[in-house]
Amino acid sequence: MTFLTGPTTEELKETAERLGLHIAHSDLEFYRSSIDNTVSAYTAIAALDEALPQVKYPRTPGYQPMGNENKYNAWYRKTDIRGASTGKLKGKTVAIKDNVCVAGVPMMNGASTLEGYVPEIDATVVTRLLDAGATIAGKAHCEYFCFSGGSHTSAHGPVVNPRKPGYSAGGSSSGSGALLAAGEVDLAIGGDQGGSIRMPSSFCGVYGMKPTHGLVPYTGIMPIELTLDHTGPMSQNVSDNALMLEVIAGPDGLDPRQINVTTDNYFKALTGQIGKLRIGVVKEGFGLVNSEPEVDKLVRKAAERFRKLAHT
């Protein structure tokens, strides 16, 4: 059982200086005394019995790769967590976005203020990946608290796009997209509130799925907002994406986002008959001041391809 203690004034001063803040001694004393009530509340909570989910698979904290071992700055930590001996993802390597808890492995969510935090649990999606036989190769850098669509805000520096060095890898699942594009992993977990799976997938030329809200449990993942939080699969091809979604989707009994969740055999559906589809194209999405004509052209070309396939 771990009980919290409040920081000393000297520790607050050291933290402030590390973050580039200059705070008067009297203010530091005020902050220190203000923390006491909060700390006592957390201490009371810590004293309660807590049934944490079992951590099934052996692991080490891993290490932070440097130099040629991390030439795109896409890795936060490298690990080697072997899952079950059989399963749908046996032989597949996975990078986990660093807003997702992996027990015993440091996690910072791209932010200097979280560096040093080590989760005690595996997120539901992590357990499901390991149960399906996957190997977790490490934690992928993400943007500072996942609040950027670029790949330049992580506290450990920008993530480079392997397809076109010097250009953005997209965010906030920047490391996940870059590691897939570089061929360093087969699969990756991404998170998406406003494009954070879709943008890096697009920028890096890989495949990303923002699942239906609540389809994949968000338990054990750093949230932004309950009605916007999504986590989902990123991969080098469509079939692996469908297979990964099949593994991680479904209720876990813990995530309040999940109501009447139903799943399907997504991998098998790739070879099924989809029938005739009616597809909507948002006309206001083109020709904006900040639109790129080449992107507009490519989206219209994709829409026309559906028409040639006899869809409406």
- Distances from the Cα of 46 to the Cα of 39, 51, 121, angstroms: 10, 12, 16
Q: What angle do CA 242, 88, 139 make, to 5 degrees?
A: 75
| All residues at 6 or more sequence positions from 189 whose CB lies less than 8 Å from its CB, including other chains | 94, 95, 96, 97, 100, 125, 126, 129, 176, 231, 232, 233, 234, 248
The packing angle between helices 9-18 and 25-46, to 10°, is 110
Tokens of 269: 């559906």
Active site amino acids: 97, 172, 196
Tokens of 241: 């994406």
For β-strands 93-97 and 135-140, DSSP reports them as parallel
